[in-house]
Chain A
Amino acid sequence: MTHTLKKQCAVVALAVAAAFGAAQDVAAQSGEIFMPVLVYRTGAYAPNGIPWADGYVDYIKLVNERDGGVNGIKLSFEECETGYATDRGVECYERLKSKKPVLVNPLSTGITYALTEKVAADKIALFTTGYGRADSADGSVFAWNFPLLGTYWSAADMLVQHVAKKGSLKGKKIALVYHDSPYGKEPIRLLEEHAKKHGFEFIKLPVTHPGVEQKATWLQVRQQRPDYVFLWGWGVMNSTSIKEAIAVSYPRLQMYGVWWSSAEPDVLPAEAAGKGYNGIALGHSDERDFPIHKDMVKFLYEKGKGTAKSKDEVGSVLYNRGMISAMLSVEAIKKAQEKHGKRVVTGEEVRWGAENLNIDAAKVKALGFGDMVQPLKTSCRDHEGVRRGRIHTWDGKDWSYTSDWIEADDKFLRPLVEASAKAYAAEKKITPRDCSKEK
């Protein structure tokens, strides 16, 4: 009875094997550096996923178009739709793996968790620019993970510092309204530590995927009246939260989103009522007038090669984030080429490049990013590079900065990161590298 199953397997197997065999050959011959792009352009998170993907892809296109590739080596890429589902993300990774990618940017904390082990085995660098698992900042255990530009723990730390400046937190209440997934749960451990340190009450309010059903959550907010609400949402959940906050008349000024919760698609649906809502901007907000944006318009959009629907999207918060993610990936490739020669580098070499990044303010400026990216320096010990951000506030039309630079407290964070990484290493039987011996 089971033989049709085998027959089907065989047919599909042959088809797939043939297709992938062919694809692999093409990539190997072309002499290009391949970058898979895991995106979600459909589903509940699409409004946020699309600008990120456009920014990421546009930057790759720009490097090819304007500079003729990285040191003369063209970049090739292929998008794969994950729909923010971890299993589809893993499938995408496996699918694109045969094309010898040097790095992967999974754009989901869940997929990051699932890939963490796989990338180490496959020797592919895992870039999680501004997201991913916080403990992977410890490069001695997580050799292949690069949570560049800050983790959720850094973000939570910055937010606590910011609100602590407004007055002692002792006896106050902070609620975390979070997406009930690894992404949303990531800051919990840090906030619990902070609650102990500062003496505030920490309230956890989970919201299940996709996040449109939040009535119960906000009734709790109304009941408990927290002094601050931190919002760890994504996609349609954010705008719903803001609307629900309006419904229970919770002041938007006391709401702070993480960077995924403070972009245009989140506040626009709430219209003017979203006014006063804050978010932590990780280096950048919706800056639009730097040379890189002009280059995007000049080299891509004026020639009809842009990925986004219109050039108005260039410079929006998430577009910038996608662009910066791609920029850091490309810089890691460049760094690898510095050491290993201007050729098609391997994942292992790119990993080294990412671990030895040193991008100062002048370099950021030279790349055309103005001051959108803070100076960043990675090492074996620190895969995060930089942990600085500013608060930006939505005025109903635009984002504007409303705080000075805040730097996450590494003295407070580092022991937590190391403890968590150590636990992971013990669980996985990984021997941490001795960072003093790394060149």
Chain B
Amino acid sequence: MSRTNAPGRGETILLIAVGGFAGAAARYGVELAISSSLLSTLAVNVVGSFALGAIVYENRLVGSFSKRARFVFGTGFLSSFTTYSTFVVDALTAAPPLGLAYLFASYATGFGAVLAARASVRAIANPRGEVVA
């Protein structure tokens, strides 16, 4: 990764703010499209976990995204598109069996999405299957 021309502090904060605006707005759009809060939150968390996993492992294995791009899309957009607070409140306010199932489903699909992203990046970055990271 190039260390030259790194974004300054002000620019970094601006990039994250822009990404955060878009990520939260996009999450709200999914909320409007899927009437169940549990399902819409699960959806954004799974999709966002896969995408952030892809960015993180791509950066480790290939590194074609600039620091600016990772601030906008990762720290800004995806981290705001996904959310933990609504997930916790929904899990606690649902009927106990549903809340517990929702907790386990969210964790399983969230971690599973990161593992799927890792496998995808490895397959694309390293088609011969040599283990590098």
Pair from one complex: no
